[in-house]
Amino acid sequence: MVADPVVLQAVADLFPSGIGRYAVGGLLVGLGTVLIYAGTGIPAGASTFLESTLSYVSEQSRFQRYVGSRDWRLVFTAGIVAGGLAFAATVQSGLITSALYEPGTTGRLYEVAGVTLWSTAVQPWRLFLGGVLVGVGTRIGKGCTSGHGVCGVGSASKTSLIGVLTFLTVAIGTAQVVAALGVSP
């Protein structure tokens, strides 16, 4: 191995926040997926929740097909929200510190009842319009970053690999264009 300082610096520039928090976070996301699969045999993805939850309020056949799974999907999503809160109450609040966790400078931190919470600075119109397209796209495209990206790629599904390649390429193009147009954050 050649430890060329120029090459090392170039690689470090690609990961300005290190890789610890990403690798540990990814490990936990995978662990959560495996935990559910081990107990239930279900490779759970996050985006079906959108349609399955709509079945509580809409009689459309497209949503009613998810009646059988809507209860546990609600529990899964509640767990994800609770997981985000657990992270905020521990690591984000500084109660647990780790060399593998790089805090970061994005958005805005604020405190409620001793818990350090976080809020994004990305503009609401981007979140809303992007959200609409995410809602349409994941359901037509049969999966999102967890269904295709984690479960699908983990099962070496060709459909999911093509899905991931498609949305990754388009998302990179979109983000680059939006940034080039001067939209920030």
Q: Identify residues 28-87 at the interface with another protein (CB under 8 A).
A: 28-51, 53-54, 58, 60-63, 65-66, 68-69, 71-72, 75-87
Measured distance CA(54)–CA(64) in Å, rounded: 8
**Shortest distance in whole angstroms from residue 1 CB to another protein:** 21
Closer residue to another protein, CB minimum distance, 3 or 140: 140
The minimum distance between CB 9 and another protein, in angstroms, equals: 15
Contact call for residues 25 and 107 (beta carbons, < 8 A) = no
Question: In this structure, how many other beta carbons lie within 10 angstroms of the beta carbon of residue 20?
Answer: 14
| Cβ proximity of 30 and 44 under 8 Å | no
Question: Is the CA virtual torsion 23, 29, 31, 37 positive or negative?
Answer: negative
Say which residue the tokens 């690591």 belong to.
91
Q: Which is nearer to another protein, 8 or 68 (CB)?
A: 68
Interface of this chain with another protein, residues 117 to 136, rule: CB under 8 A: 117-122, 124, 126-136
Look up residue 149 and give its DSSP letter.
I
Of 161-180, which residues contact another protein (CB under 8 A)? 162-164, 166-176, 178-179
Cα separation values, 109 from 97, 113, 115, 118, 122, Å = 17, 13, 10, 4, 14
Nearer to another protein, 5 or 85 (CB): 85
Least Cβ distance, residue 89 to another protein (angstroms): 10
Q: Which is nearer to another protein, 4 or 13 (CB)?
A: 13
Residue of the chain from 3, 142, 181, 182 that contacts another protein (CB under 8 A)? 142
User: In the bound complex, what is the minimum distance in angstroms from residue 2's beta carbon to another protein?
Assistant: 22
Q: Does 138 engage in binding with another protein (CB under 8 A)?
A: yes
Closest CA to 50 of 135, 132, 113, 107: 135
Query: What pairs with residue 118 in β-bridges?
Result: 109
97 lies in the binding site for another protein (CB under 8 A): no
